[in-house]
Amino acid sequence: MTGGKVTMPKLPPLNALRCFEAAARHRSFSRAANELHVTQSAVSHQVRQLEDWFGIMLFERQGRQTMPTPKGEMLASGLAEAFTLIAESCRQVKASQIGATLTIAVLPSIATIWLIPKLSAFFREHPEIPVKVIYLLAGQPLNFNDIDIAITWGRDGGSGGRASRFLSGDTVAVANPTLIAREGPFERSHTLLHAPLLHDTDRQGWHRFMKKLGIRHANPEGGPVFEDFNLLRAAALAGQGLALCPRALIKDDVAAGRLVVLFENTAVNEDWSYWLVEPENKEGRAEAIAAFRSWLMKEAAA
C-alpha cells in the first residue's frame, strides 16, 4: 500500500488467461477456439504469450491430445474458479438492477400462436417489468445464466430447473374444411390410409395415431415433413393435408372454423405437456418470475 492506495498485483493479459483456461478444460485448442469464436491459431498465440509471461511450458502433447503440464493444471483449476466467481458476480449485479429485463425462452410454436397474442395483458398488469422473448430450440439445454424462465414441451420440463405443467399436450387430427369437402369425408379410420398427410418433425405421430384408431400395419410414409409446428399449421390451414396438432394451440382455429377436428375422441401425446421451467436460484429475479408465472397459469386456466 502506497499513499493510501492499494496496488493491484500485475496480471497476465486477461484474454490469454481465457484462451488458456478453455484450452485446458477442453484438452484441445480447436474446441477452445470454437467456444470463444476465434481461430485455433489465435488460441495458440495467446497460450504462447502466457507461457512467455510465466517463463514455463503450460501444455504438452500426449498423442492427439494437448494436455496441461502439472503447473498448467494448477493454473487452469484456479482460473476456472475465478471465472466462475466473476460470472456469478456479474449475474447478481445484472439481476439486481431495478427494471432489469425478464428474459423468456419459448418454443417458436407456442410463442407465435399462444404466448405473444396474450402478452399485452401481462404488460398492462406489470408495466414495471420489461420483457424480452427469445426462441428456445427443441432439445436445447436451458442456461439460466442467459434466461430467467422457459416454456418447453415434453413428458417433463427437462433438466436444469423447476417445472410446472400449464397446458396439455393432447394432440388431435385436424383438417381445413375445404380439404374435407374435396378429399373427405374422413369419418372412418381406414380413410386415413389414402388421405394426404402432413408430418411434424417425423412420421411417427401419424403411425401412433393410426394404431390408436385400430388400423393395423399402418405405414404413413407419404406426405411432407415440417421441422417446425408453425410450418405444419400453416400447411394445414392452406388445405395441403391432414395434420396432428396440440389441441391447446389450435383452439382459436377450431373455434373460427379454420380447422376441423377429426376423430374427436382419439388423441396422441396425452402424456406430453407444455411446461413452465424456473431456475432453482432466483436471486434478484424472484418477484418478476413469480409475477409472470402467476399470470401465465391464470391465462392457461382461462
Residue 3 falls within a domain, yes or no?
no
- pLDDT average per 10 residues of sequence, the chain (302 residues): 60 89 91 89 91 91 82 91 83 59 91 93 92 85 84 81 90 95 86 89 87 78 87 95 94 95 92 90 81 93 85
Residue 67 falls within a domain, yes or no?
yes
Residue 267 falls within a domain, yes or no?
no
Q: In this structure, are 72 and 212 located in the same domain?
A: no
Q: Which residues contact 78 (CB under 8 A, 6 or more apart)?
A: none
Residue 268 falls within a domain, yes or no?
no
Q: In this structure, are 182 and 225 located in the same domain?
A: yes
Q: In this structure, are 65 and 109 located in the same domain?
A: no
> How far is residue 20's CA from residue 42's CA, in Å, rounded to a whole number?
11
End-of-domain residue from the set 96, 127, 157: 96
Question: How much is the pLDDT for 1?
Answer: 46
Question: How much is the pLDDT for 5?
Answer: 63
Question: How much is the pLDDT for 94?
Answer: 62
Residue 293 falls within a domain, yes or no?
yes
Question: How much is the pLDDT for 89?
Answer: 77
Residue 129 falls within a domain, yes or no?
yes
Q: In this structure, are 158 and 278 located in the same domain?
A: yes
> How far is residue 245's CA from residue 258's CA, in Å, rounded to a whole number?
13
Q: Residue 175: which of 163, 189, 162, 185 has the closest Cα?
A: 185
Q: In this structure, are 110 and 239 located in the same domain?
A: no
Q: In this structure, are 64 and 106 located in the same domain?
A: no
pTM: 0.64
Q: Which domain holds residue 195?
A: 171-262
**Total number of domains in the chain:** 3
Question: For residue 97, how far is the Cα from the chain centroid?
Answer: 25
In CATH, what number is assigned to the domain containing residue 84? 1.10.10.10
Q: In this structure, are 150 and 286 located in the same domain?
A: yes
In CATH, what number is assigned to the domain containing residue 146? 3.40.190.10
Q: In this structure, are 248 and 212 located in the same domain?
A: yes
Question: How much is the pLDDT for 85?
Answer: 86
Question: How much is the pLDDT for 98?
Answer: 44
End-of-domain residue from the set 42, 68, 96: 96
Q: In this structure, are 249 and 229 located in the same domain?
A: yes
Q: Which residue has the cell 395441403?
A: 240
Residue 4 falls within a domain, yes or no?
no
Q: In this structure, are 186 and 251 located in the same domain?
A: yes
Q: Which residue has the cell 493510501?
A: 4
Residue 22 falls within a domain, yes or no?
yes
The dihedral over CA atoms of 109, 115, 116, 117, expressed in degrees to the nearest 10, equals 110
Question: How much is the pLDDT for 232?
Answer: 95
Question: For helices 29-36 and 14-26, what crossing angle results, to 10°?
Answer: 120
Q: In this structure, are 37 and 87 located in the same domain?
A: yes
Q: In this structure, are 136 and 149 located in the same domain?
A: yes
